[in-house]
Amino acid sequence: MERTFFIGNRQELYALAPDDSLILLFAGKAPRHSADEYYTYYADRSFVYFTGLESHSAGFVFAARKSAGTTKEYLFLLPPDAHAERWTGARVKPDEARSISGIENIEYLASYPAFLERELSSGRVKHVCLDLFRLNSEEPDTPAQREAKHIRDLWPAADICDILPAIRRVRLIKKPCEIEAMRRSCEITRAGILAMMKASRPGMYEYEYKAEYDRALTSRGCLEPGFPSIIAAGKNNFCIHYYDYTGQAQDGDMILNDVSARFDGVMNDVSRGWPCNGRFTEKQKLLYSCAYETSEYMFSIIKPGMKMSAVDETIHDYCGQKLVDIGLLDKKENNRKYMWHNGAHHVGWDVHDVVETPDVIAPGMVFCVDVGIYVEEWGIGFRLEDNCLVTETGCECLTRSIPRSIEEIEQAMRK
């Protein structure tokens, strides 16, 4: 991404922030794994979205003061440290950070406490805006949550406000450069899925499928998937988020995968299911046709102005009727018996993208059309998940080139 992208994102955020506010965003730090080993560092996605910085070095802070119609920006980085950099690699230098982010005022982290004291004691700041998102009550505090507590203790008159709703709004509509990055991520994902299809055979272990997928990504410059790959065979398909990779495909098993590639910060989310031996059985064809026809129908009707909630509702209603038509359900309203999860979620910088949930669909949104069918009594479980870009007049399936129909899948798997 060009730095104009990150500058523009920040300008949109400032327009939504209250006057006389201090906006603080934190890159985060890698948690400790065990002993003296740490997890791989993964920068907060909103921090990256607004600054472009996702160095393996941790702890960056971005600050912006909005007052009198102007905004002044600051970025606090780790200082040079020859010994630390010998172990963990070069740290981002101020000039490099300016070039990437477009932020001119760069200081080292040691000066951040004094900066915060100065700002909050000045009388110019009425609101301190932080991303206070918490997934559940059992999670440890994030850097932003810890800072909110610190500020409440020392400056109780400061109004702490959650900037997350504004962040969600800015991230909702994808810009042309994001869409191009997603197109590239879809091309890489296609290569990975095709590699698995072509290698597929009875007796193959799930970790072997994963190895095929990972090799296809790394050979194209994608060093890790957008999220941990879900690759399952047979009975393991009935665990929606399965990560063990220890199962072995038996002749007649369906292979389920839910995978991604990340390019220039943006990721996709694609699911495909196929018979490990390359030929669908009659029951597999019945179920797969229900999912495929539902997906095709959805891509024919999605357009601006449609209610976002109607996407999931229509997927379940339409596919439920298909399951009635083949004699599996008594009535379509009982579709949740075999359709275990929702049929749509936004995707972009996160796989379940941090965006404002819209009432109606608008051009520039990207979300998944996800049709999952799980029939344990038949031993068949899979999902067909594609990425939908909403256009001015309708929508585009960004992942259509990844084999989707029974005929396309069987053709791709022929040795």
Beta 37-38 vs 32-34: how paired, if at all?
antiparallel
Report, as ranges of residue numbers, the positions in the chain whose pLDDT lies below 70. 57-58, 415
Give dist(CA 266, CA 175) in Å, integer.
11
pLDDT for res 262 = 97
pLDDT for res 88 = 86
- Written as one string, the DSSP assignment of 185-248 is HHHHHHHHHHHHHHH--TT-BHHHHHHHHHHHHHTTT--S-SS--EEEEGGGGGSSS------B
pLDDT for res 57 = 65
Give dist(CA 120, CA 21) in Å, integer.
10
Give dist(CA 10, CA 8) in Å, integer.
5
Q: What is the tens place of the pLDDT at every residue in 203-260?
A: 999 999 999 999 999 999 999 999 999 999 999 999 999 999 999 999 999 999 999 9
pTM recorded for the entire structure: 0.95
Domains detected in the chain = 3-171 (3.40.350.10), 173-413 (3.90.230.10)
Continuous H helices in 245-349: 282-301, 308-325
Strand, coil or helix: what is 270? Answer: strand
